[in-house]
Amino acid sequence: MTLPNYLILAIACELALAPKPSAAQAPMTVAVDATFGAGVGKGGEFFDRTLPGARIAASIRRSGSTRVGFFGEVAMDWISIASGHAAVCYRSPRGGCLDSYPEFAGPTAVVGLIAQPIHLLELRLGVGGAAYTADGTRVAAALSQFDAALFPVTHVGLVAGARWIVVPRYRGDRLSVLPWMAGLRFR
């Protein structure tokens, strides 16, 4: 190896090994979540209230020297992903057949508090809203969420949490969904 190659190797090693602020020390960090799970739907006259779902989210958090900060998140939710149903008529008390629980899909926005009590653990609590589409109908929803992420590797964590989603008016009914989700967080 020549002297310029040794110099390039030394600079590369220095950049790779230079101390960087941890996520708790950095003033702003970005994270991306990919989660899957299932929930239970309540309200209305529907059958098949077990709702599988998926969610992709991007968040920005702001924290100072303390272990508590703020975060903002935008996400895309798919609640009650269609898995197909048998051609069976579940009788409705009003006559006719019951529909399956609506398949909600759409963007969400959440703001809240983030805490990092220890270096490997991240806790978030937030509230927000959503603009879902179900069967061609646009509906607004309020939501709250809690999640915890464990980071065994610096930039990749395991995340698990729950969300409470309330659709105040869907075809005359007030609906709510409590999905539990688990997946990965990249920061």
CATH number of the domain to which 45 belongs: 2.40.160.20
DSSP for residue 26? S
Task: Indicate whether this model's pTM tops 0.85.
Answer: no
Provide the pLDDT confidence category of residue 184 given band limits of 50, 70 and 90.
very high
Provide the pLDDT confidence category of residue 135 given band limits of 50, 70 and 90.
confident
Query: Average of pLDDT values for 66-76?
Result: 92
Query: Average of pLDDT values for 164-168?
Result: 93
**Within a domain: 6:** no
**Within a domain: 56:** yes
| pLDDT at 17 (0 to 100) | 47
**Within a domain: 10:** no
Lowest mean pLDDT among 35-44, 77-86, 115-124: 77-86
Average pLDDT, the chain: 83
Task: Give me the DSSP letters along 73-107.
Answer: EEEEEEES------S--PBPTTSSBPEEPP-EEEE
**Within a domain: 9:** no
Stretch (H or E) spanning 6: helix 3-17
Provide the pLDDT confidence category of residue 23 given band limits of 50, 70 and 90.
very low
**Within a domain: 14:** no
Domain holding 159, by residue range, is 21-186
Query: Average of pLDDT values for 81-92?
Result: 66
**Within a domain: 12:** no
**Within a domain: 164:** yes
| pLDDT at 103 (0 to 100) | 87
Q: How many domains does the chain have?
A: 1
Q: Residue for token digits 């065994």?
A: 152
**Within a domain: 85:** yes
Residue 20, pLDDT > 60, answer: no
φ/ψ of 58, rounded to 5, equals -125, 135
